[in-house]
Each structure stands twice: as structure tokens, then as C-alpha cells.
Amino acid sequence: MKQKVIVYNKVDPTVIEYLEKTCEVQYFEYNDQLLNNPLFLKALSEAHAILGSRLKVDSSFLDLAPKLKIVSNISVGYDNFDIVEITNRGIMATNTPTVLNDTVADTIFALMLATARRVPEMVQNVRNGKWIKSNIDEEWFGVDIHHKTLGIIGLGGIGSALAKRAHFGFDMNILYHNRSRNEEAERLYNASYCSMEELLQNSDFVCVMVPLSKHTEKLIGRREFSLMKNSGILINASRGKVIDEEALIEAIQQNEILGAGLDVFSQEPVATDNPLLSMDNVVALPHIGSATKETRLKMQLLAAENVVEGLMRGTPKNLINHELILNNR
């Protein structure tokens, strides 16, 4: 009998075809009322695997899925997983790292350039007929990126891809703060390890690339903004809640920092009355870090491969809770 898999994100048809070679697949379109759908709840009660990226997988969810063997996120992040609870029940948890590194790094650089050179603001000025003379005034000037200092908080796969672009493409000086030294980045990109305080004080651009956890929530707050240069620009493409959003608003309003480029917010979709959206020196994107057709397909296929490997062999290559699972078995 085939193992039963629930897919609750819209995926490419090739992903479903791949899963159906070995599994029985049921698809549900994600919405906020999915857990109130009787058909979904019935399927969940019999499911051996779920594949998607939004559902909060905690004890109450797992109580509804007694046969579950693996949860597969179509994302490098997994803050929607209660890893301890999942592991205590002997369930495998997987994600999709590496395949999105370059695409997210591209997005981050787009944010850096757009914020530093005030691209959205200048586009609006042109469209609104404010460009009325050939030589623009200094009030429209931006700031350079090349030969500046980029501070990366969290130098993992995406951070390393960002450092590569900054070093080779823009001759930037790279500072980084991490839980452990990244000797490869130090060797390849001349990155310098330093304390959080040193990074904040000396960086022209501060890029936050840490996963969301109880240890990183509001990692950057009032104290951190006070340490940044007045000419500093904050870039966040990780998770919105790693930034204290009220402190960020205050720092920009009080000119403690020059501006911010944000792909993520504490509430998503972001509220239309969020003060950050009315600030000319803030560039806001709708969490599009990995959102290209090519990369999303790679992520979906990798998530599906994790499911098949987990169900068929018990050893998916992107197992998040590897050591904990081994201890429980």
C-alpha cells in the first residue's frame, strides 16, 4: 500500500507527478481556514507526510496526524515547526537549503542597491513629473555601495553567497558575526569575524541573515540601532521578527540610521498603515527572496525528494532534526 502524502501548497505539476510514482497524493489549497476543512482533517488523520511551507506544526497539529512520519517544508526556514515536539514524536523534519542561496543573495543586493540609490523614490519622482531639469539637485543623491563595508549577521549559505557578490562585484569590505567562524568565507572573500557591537559600529550596510528562533527574535532593537552609523542602512531578508519593528521605525524617524531595505515584516502581509511604508528611505518588498520560477521549482522538487527519501529509506538528506531523531530511535 502506498504511503499517503498531503501537499498543501500550490506546486508545479511535475512535483505531483514525481510524488505519485511512489505515494498516494492529496492536494489542498492553503488558506487560513484549512484546519477547519473536514476533508483536510480526514486526510491529515491518515497522512504519512505533509509538504508545504505555512502550517504551524505544533502539538495540537500533530495530535490530528497520528500516522505522520515526515514534515517537509518548501523553505530554508522552519520557524513554523515546533522541532522539539516533532522530534519527541519520532517525526522527521526537513527543509530546502542551498538551492535558493544565489537567488536570495540576488534579492538582497537588489534591496541594497535600491535603498542606497533611492531607486523606488526616484522612479516615482520621474513618473510624477518632478524631473524638470537636466542636472538633478543634491537632495536626490544616493550613496555608493562599492568599496563600502558590509556587515553580515549570520554567515551561512545565503550570507556566503552575499559576501561573494559584495567582495568580487563591488570591492566591499566584509565583516561578519556568526555562532562559529566561517573560515572558507574568510579565505575566499577576505571576510573578518567580529563581535556584534564591532559589526554594527563599523558597517555601512548591516544585513541580517539569521533564522527566527526564541534566541533571535528582536535580535536588532534600540540598542543595536544606536550603535549603527547615522549613514548606515539596514537590510533584512531573513524573518521580520528578528527586527524590533517599533525600534526600527523610531531609529529612522530620529535619523539614527539612513534607511532600510526590507523583504520581510513582523506581520505578513504587511499592514497598509505600517509607518515604514510611508517612509521614502525604506524600500519594501513582499517577501520575494526566493521567488523566481526556477528556484521555487527547485525548492518544490527538493521538498518532494525529502518526502520520498524519508518514507522509503528513512534518511532524507535535508533532515533538520538528525541528531535528535537518532537519540529517539
Q: What is the DSSP string of 163-180?
A: HHHHHHHH--EEEEE-SS
* Cell numbers linked to 99: 538551492
CA distance 127 to 129: 6
Q: State whether residue 312 is helix, strand or coil.
A: helix
239 is catalytic: yes
State the catalytic residue, choosing from 17, 29, 246, 268. Answer: 268
Closest Cα to residue 62, out of 37, 75, 38, 45?
A: 45
State the catalytic residue, choosing from 54, 117, 287, 322. Answer: 287
Q: Exposure pattern of 131-153 as b/e (b: 16+ CB <10 Å)?
A: eeeeeeeeeeebeebeebbbbbb
Closest Cα to residue 310, out of 319, 300, 301, 299?
A: 319
* Cell numbers linked to 257: 540610521
Which positions ≥6 away from 6 have C-beta within 8 Å? 25, 26, 27, 28, 40, 43, 44, 47, 49, 50, 51, 52
287 is catalytic: yes
State the catalytic residue, choosing from 121, 239, 245, 309. Answer: 239
Q: Residues with catalytic annotation?
A: 239, 268, 287
